């Protein structure tokens, strides 16, 4: 029962294959809908299931933190399929932006989603690694989906560097296993002893995790892959892959390395500081909106890291703030990407300057984009501000006031490039050839939901309070 | 829902009403904006009366109080697990600022009667901005405070960027980024207060019961003071102000110079000095020196300006220097002067920018040398301009005199935590600016309004319209009222400043 969400996702994936064979071409738009329905069912299951329990002799377990990871992953996957539906059905006016083979696309995305769900529940090394690969390899395929030069290049780069990252991680985990002789994550923490081999193992694990999470200096693959991949995949990569990285880091830090808790603040702080600063400053000079969003996503990973700081006092606070911001980031970033997907799908243009005059031609789309960008920059009363503020408060409680300062300054810097887009949309006049283009009902619905969510999450306290309350529950079961 | 919530909500609801009005019905939009802000003015008057009846009996007891007393308090838990509340209250300082803001936005709407381009968005954003301003003045939870603070800053980007003139995109970006860098400092400081206090609360009144460690106060005070100082045009962080004000449309300049810059002084007094008295003692003299530069730099800067808006913007830098100078003097007289100056300068500069907008709308130039003799063709505007100018150079009988004399006396009395000689020298130097102010005000206004009419086209220009007369008339009357009956305002604020002073001395 505890594995129900995962099973639903996998079964839906196989069902898609069968249905694809049976229905006529005219009926095929139903396929993304089936995928969406499956994800919705899994979401309900993840919500309704008990908040703790284990399976397979403790190799797979559910607790309140992994439950929230699962919910967030499912939301991210569902929204991605929803914003991709138009391109999968070939509805966009700009033909090259359409995505082929809709059944396979949904299927691979669902497998990837299943991998991430398993990852959240993994409690031993093998389960962890296998589910991580399941959450990674489908992304290589998705990145190369369009089969033109850029997309293939993105896929190839992603495969090579991704394999390198996985190799680091696997080698690191292998070393740690060798040192402890334990497979269970929690059991490993008890048997660890410091020494050269231990530090080697930890270093490699950090590099592997850093790759997934696009932490500086392991971020170099991200910009090219994000730019080259189909926009729908970029959107998914920027939220889901990041979420999987966080779940992985959570396992590594709070399970394998738990006894080191008082010592990892320094490393996390430096990684966070580097990641947010480098990501932000690199974003300033970008001309292509997808590349800009890639660097913006890198800097956001830096903020998310702040959630792992601080362990004397109330360690759970950071986890709640991190999960909350991840949720906020997922809806806000996907709102921004929904506009980008729509615009490049209809016009084929993805330079920042192409957005000029959007407020004249499409006032509502421009408004949605502005709200999303301000959310990412952390402007009140949007949820982005609230989420960031909570993460900053974690760092402040850990006594790292300099990091709070750096993070807050970085938020302002990020506003510079987000405002650059707002300036184009609102201040610059539309070009003579710019016309209003079609907005599909599906896209409008997704945008309405994500935009509203990015406001409501920040104003209505119940969401954060629930996460905070439930994850505090998780803490009671651990060594703190 | 209480009275204070309505004070914040009313502009927001007006903005919403405007959003749902069709953009083509421009005069309807303006009437909605006017009705909303007019109602707000009435509501503010009612709140003042309520506040006065509640607070008057406590006046004597407040002389020795160390904790500020709030009235009409509204308190609801919000993000409860972090101790964040929806916490509104009002005291004398807030009351004065709310009155100021309400007057400025009302006259600002009147002064924007000629805005035609995208009028709907303009008025909606303007009212959204004021919502933030009222929120800041009324909230006593630091998180809520910060939230409103940024809501008040950000619409400025679009207001200047879309409706501004000159290098508007540059000015708008510079202004937004500098002000938000200031708020980045505030975030560090506020979170520091939160985590160091260990109380799990952002409640300002409860944080005021904590004595923060000296080492913390030593860095947190300048962080918060400068964070607010950026908005209060503290030298050398004032550079956004001339560009921003010069590029902004009339009502936005009015609001920004008249009200938004006051958030800086207000926050410095209410948060920095009140919560971190030890830090204030360490840094008081330093900031006094910095603000002296402010005052002189602004005044000398104004002399050299040819553009009326830059002229007023530099004069604002100088006058906002008085506010922070009074705060940094760390005594009752100085702080009283600071609040009086916030009020007085708010009205005065609102009047200036309104008049500049009106003159520019007629002559299509803001360059002082191109104008001359305008007093003959538009006497009403000229008289108002002169009243504002005389208030700005501190003529007795107008509000400027009351405020500046308080500030200078405050500086001269000094405080026991810095070198008395240094403080008195700084005060004397700062006082010299009054002479400089007289030079630039009289010279500048003389060039524009006196003498023969330089351009024959000027003869065809008309004097103020009815809306313009109401708008400027209200502001001039306020300047005179405060100048002639300063005790109205002083009584309102004095009891609320006492806790800040008492905390410094305990």
Q: 3-class secondary structure for B112-181?
A: CCCCCCCHHHHHHHHHHHHHHHHHHHHECEHHHHHHHHHHHHCHHHHHHHHHCCCCHHHHHHHHHHHHHH
Instruction: Please tell me which residue of chain A has the smallest CA distance to B85.
Output: A461
User: Which member of B81, B173, B191 has the closest CB to residue A419?
Assistant: B173
Query: Are the beta carbons of B191 and A404 closer than 8 angstroms?
Result: yes
User: If you write DSSP's letter for every residue of B419-488 in order, what string do you get?
Assistant: -HHHHHHHHHHHHTHHHHHHHHHHHHHHHHHSSS--SGGGGG-----HHHHHHHHHHHHHHHHHHH-HHH
Q: Would you state the pLDDT for residue A479?
A: 44
- Residue A193 located in a structural domain: no
Give the span between the Cα atoms of B145 and B151, in whole angstroms.
Answer: 10
Q: Token pair 């524009």 is at which residue?
A: B448
In the prediction, which pLDDT does A480 show? 42
A443 part of a folded domain: yes
- The DSSP secondary structure of B26-85, one letter per residue, reads HHHHHHHHHHHHHHHHHHHHHHHHHHHHHHGGGHHHHTT-SS---EEEEEEESSGGGT-E
Chain A residues touching residue B82 (CB < 8 angstroms): 390, 393, 468
CB contact under 8 A, B185 and A464: no
What would the mean pLDDT of B95-109 be, rounded to a whole number?
A: 91
Minimum Cα–Cα distance from A422: chain B residue: B158
User: Which residue numbers in chain A have pLDDT < 50?
Assistant: 479-480
Mutate to test the interface with A, among B153, B176, B180 (most CBs of A within 10 A): B180
**Cβ-based burial of B341 (10 A; exposed 0-12, middle 13-18, buried ≥19):** buried
Q: Which residues contact B16 (CB under 8 A, 6 or more apart)?
A: none
Closest-approach residue (CA) in chain B for A321: B82
Report yes or no: A379 at the B interface, CB cutoff 8 Å. Answer: yes
**Higher-confidence position of B373 and B108:** B108
Cβ–Cβ below 8 Å for A380 and B194: no
Length of chain A: 480
B320 close contact with A: CB closer than 8 A:
no
- Contact predicate B302/B311, CB 8 Å: yes
Residue A448, min C-alpha distance to chain B (Å): 17
Q: Which among B78, B79, B202, B221 is the top mutation candidate for probing chain A, defined by the most A β-carbons within 10 Å of its own β-carbon?
A: B79
Residue at A212 is within a domain: no
Q: How much of chain B exceeds pLDDT 70, in percent?
A: 100
Tell me, what's the ipTM? 0.88
pLDDT tens digits for range B149-200: 988 888 888 888 888 887 888 888 888 899 889 999 999 999 999 988 888 8
What is the Cα–Cα distance from B163 to B153, expressed in whole angstroms?
A: 16
Q: Residue A177: CB partners within 8 Å, gap ≥ 6?
A: A125, A183, A188
Task: Categorise residue B206: left if φ over 0, alpha if ψ from -120 to 50, beta otherwise.
Answer: alpha
Chain A residues whose CB is inside 8 A of the B162 CB are 426-427
pLDDT of residue A117: 92
Contact of B127 with B277, CB cutoff 8 Å:
no
Q: Which of A408, A416, A419 sits opposite B188 (nearest CB)?
A: A408
The total of other beta-carbon atoms located within 10 Å of residue A195's CB is 10
* B460 CB burial (10 A radius; 0-12, 13-18, 19+): exposed
Nearest CA in chain A to B183: A408
Number of domains composing chain A: 1
pLDDT digits (tens, 9 = 90+) for B136-146: 999 999 999 99
The C-alpha of A401 sits at a distance from chain B's nearest C-alpha, in angstroms, of 7
**Terminal CA-CA length for chain B:** 37
Provide the sign of the torsion angle of the four alpha carbons A241, A247, A251, A253, taken in this order: positive
pLDDT at A32: 87
Nearest-by-CA chain A residue for B175: A416
Domain contains A174: no
Q: Considering CB atoms only, which of A390, A397, A404 is closest to B188?
A: A404
A464:B181 CB<8 A: no
B187–A392 CB contact, under 8 Å? yes
Strand partners, B203: B141
The answer to whether position A210 is within a domain reads no
Is residue B493 a contact partner of residue B93, using CB atoms and an 8 Å limit? yes
Q: Which of B79, B180, B191 sits opposite A412 (nearest CB)?
A: B180
Query: Which ranges in B329-419 belong to alpha helices (H)?
Result: 332-363, 374-377, 379-392, 399-413
Query: pLDDT band at B378, cuts 50/70/90?
Result: confident
The rounded distance, in Å, linking the Cα atoms of A392 and A382 is 16
Q: What's the pTM?
A: 0.91
**Structure tokens that stand for B200 in this block:** 């799990």
User: Do residue A396 and residue B188 have CB atoms under 8 angstroms apart?
Assistant: yes
Structural domain boundaries in chain B:
3-505
Q: How far, rounded to the nearest angstrom, does the alpha carbon of residue A56 sit from its chain's CA centroid?
A: 28
Q: Which domain holds residue A425?
A: 265-480
Average pLDDT over residues B241-250: 85
Give the whole-number percent of chain B exceeding pLDDT 90: 26
Q: Distance (Å) from the C-alpha of residue A409 to the closest C-alpha of chain B?
A: 6
Disruptive mutation site among A376, A406, A412, A428 for chain B (greatest number of B CBs within 10 Å): A412
B162 touches chain A (CB under 8 A): yes
Question: Which pLDDT does position A29 carry in this prediction?
Answer: 83
* Residues A110, A5 contacting (CB under 8 angstroms): no
The conformational region for residue A181 under phi > 0 = left, psi -120 to 50 = alpha, else beta, is left
- Residue A290 falls inside a structural domain: yes
Q: What one-character DSSP code corresponds to residue A429?
A: P
Contacts of B87 in chain A (CB under 8 A): none
Contact (CB<8Å) A393/B194 = yes
Q: Using a CB-CB distance cutoff of 8 angstroms, which residues of chain A are in contact with residue B184?
A: 405, 408-409, 411-412
């Amino acid at each position: 029962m505890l594995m129900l969400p995962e099973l639903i996702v996998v079964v839906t994936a196989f069902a898609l294959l069968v249905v694809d064979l049976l229905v006529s071409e005219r009926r095929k738009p139903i396929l993304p809908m089936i995928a969406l329905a499956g994800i919705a069912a899994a979401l309900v299951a993840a919500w309704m299931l008990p908040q703790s329990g284990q399976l397979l002799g403790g190799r797979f377990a559910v607790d309140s933190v992994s439950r929230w990871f699962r919910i967030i992953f499912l939301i991210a996957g569902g929204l991605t399929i929803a914003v991709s539906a138009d391109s999968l059905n070939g509805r966009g006016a700009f033909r090259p932006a359409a995505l082929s083979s809709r059944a396979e696309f949904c299927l691979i995305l669902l497998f990837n989603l299943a991998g991430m769900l398993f990852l959240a529940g993994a409690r031993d090394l093998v389960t962890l690694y296998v589910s991580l690969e399941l959450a990674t390899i489908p992304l290589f395929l998705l990145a190369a989906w369009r089969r033109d030069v850029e997309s293939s290049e993105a896929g190839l780069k992603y495969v090579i560097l991704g394999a390198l990252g996985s190799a680091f991680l696997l080698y690191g985990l292998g070393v740690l296993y060798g040192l402890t002789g334990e497979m269970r994550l929690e059991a490993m923490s008890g048997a660890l002893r410091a020494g050269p081999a231990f530090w080697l193992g930890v270093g490699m694990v950090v590099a592997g995790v850093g790759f997934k999470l696009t932490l500086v200096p392991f971020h170099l693959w991200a910009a090219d892959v994000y730019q080259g991949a189909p926009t729908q995949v970029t959107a998914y990569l920027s939220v889901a892959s990041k979420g999987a990285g966080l779940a992985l880091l959570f396992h590594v830090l709070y399970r394998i390395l738990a006894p080191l808790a008082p010592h990892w603040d320094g490393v996390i702080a430096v990684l966070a500081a580097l990641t947010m600063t480098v990501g932000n400053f690199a974003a300033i000079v970008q001309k292509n909106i997808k590349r800009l969003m890639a660097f913006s996503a890198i800097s956001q990973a830096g903020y998310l890291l702040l959630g792992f700081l601080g362990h004397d006092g109330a360690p759970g606070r950071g986890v709640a703030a991190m999960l909350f911001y991840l949720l906020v980031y997922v809806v806000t970033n996907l709102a921004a990407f929904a506009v980008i997907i729509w615009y490049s799908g209809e016009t084929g243009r993805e330079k920042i300057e192409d957005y000029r005059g959007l407020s004249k031609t499409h006032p509502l789309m421009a408004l949605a984009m502005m709200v999303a960008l301000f959310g990412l920059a952390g402007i009140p009363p949007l949820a982005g501000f609230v989420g960031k503020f909570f993460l900053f408060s974690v760092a402040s409680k850990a006594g790292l006031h300099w990091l709070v300062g750096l993070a807050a300054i970085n938020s302002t810097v990020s506003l510079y490039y987000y405002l650059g887009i707002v300036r184009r949309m609102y201040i610059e006049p539309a070009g003579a050839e710019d016309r209003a283009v079609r907005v599909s009902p599906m896209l409008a619905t997704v945008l309405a939901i994500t935009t509203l969510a990015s406001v409501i999450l920040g104003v209505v306290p119940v969401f954060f309070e629930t996460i905070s309350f439930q994850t505090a529950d998780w803490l009671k079961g651990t060594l703190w | 829902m209480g009275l204070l919530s309505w004070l914040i909500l009313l502009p927001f609801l007006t903005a919403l009403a405007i959003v749902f009005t069709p953009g083509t019905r421009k005069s309807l939009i303006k009437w909605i904006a006017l009705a909303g802000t007019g109602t707000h003015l009435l509501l503010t008057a009612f709140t003042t009366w309520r506040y006065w009846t509640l607070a008057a009996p406590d006046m004597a007891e407040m002389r020795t109080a160390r904790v500020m007393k709030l009235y009409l308090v509204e308190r609801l838990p919000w993000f409860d697990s972090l101790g964040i509340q929806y916490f509104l209250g009002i005291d004398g300082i807030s009351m004065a600022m709310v009155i100021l803001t309400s007057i400025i936005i009302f006259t600002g709407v009147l002064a924007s009667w000629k805005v035609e381009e995208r009028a709907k968005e303009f008025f909606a954003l303007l009212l959204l901005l004021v919502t933030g301003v009222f929120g800041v003045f009324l909230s006593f939870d630091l998180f809520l405070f910060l939230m409103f603070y940024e809501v008040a800053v950000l619409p400025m980007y679009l207001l200047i960027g879309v409706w501004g003139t000159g290098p508007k995109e540059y000015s708008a970006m510079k202004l937004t980024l500098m002000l938000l860098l200031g708020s980045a400092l505030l975030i560090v400081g506020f979170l520091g207060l939160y985590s160091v206090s260990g109380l799990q609360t952002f409640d300002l009144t409860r944080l005021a019961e904590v004595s923060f460690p000296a080492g913390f106060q030593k860095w947190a005070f300048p962080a918060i003071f400068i964070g607010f100082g950026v908005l209060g045009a503290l030298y050398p962080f004032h550079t956004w102000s001339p560009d921003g004000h010069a590029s902004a449309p009339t009502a936005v300049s009015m609001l920004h110079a008249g009200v938004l810059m006051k958030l800086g002084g207000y926050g410095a007094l209410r948060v920095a000095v009140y919560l971190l008295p030890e830090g204030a003692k360490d840094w008081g003299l330093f900031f006094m020196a910095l603000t002296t530069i402010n005052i002189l730099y602004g005044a000398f800067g104004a002399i050299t300006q040819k553009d009326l808006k830059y002229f007023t913007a530099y004069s604002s830098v100088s006058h906002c220097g008085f506010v922070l100078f009074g705060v940094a003097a760390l005594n009752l007289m100085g702080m009283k002067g600071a609040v009086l100056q916030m009020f007085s300068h708010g009205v005065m500069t609102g009047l200036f920018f309104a008049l500049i907008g009106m003159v520019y709308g007629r002559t299509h130039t803001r360059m002082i040398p191109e104008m001359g003799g305008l007093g003959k063709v538009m006497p009403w505007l000229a008289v108002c301009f002169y009243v504002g100018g005389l208030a700005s150079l501190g003529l007795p009988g107008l509000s400027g005199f009351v405020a500046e004399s308080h500030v200078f006396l405050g500086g001269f009395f000094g405080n026991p935590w810095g070198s008395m000689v240094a403080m008195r020298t700084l005060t004397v130097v700062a006082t010299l600016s009054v002479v400089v102010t007289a030079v630039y005000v009289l010279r500048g206004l003389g060039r524009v309004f006196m003498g023969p009419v330089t351009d024959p086209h000027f003869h065809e220009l008309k004097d103020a319209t009815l809306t313009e007369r109401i708008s400027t008339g209200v502001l001039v009357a306020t300047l005179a009222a405060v100048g002639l009956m300063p005790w109205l305002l002083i009584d309102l604020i004095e009891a609320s400043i006492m806790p800040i002073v008492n905390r410094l001395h305990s």
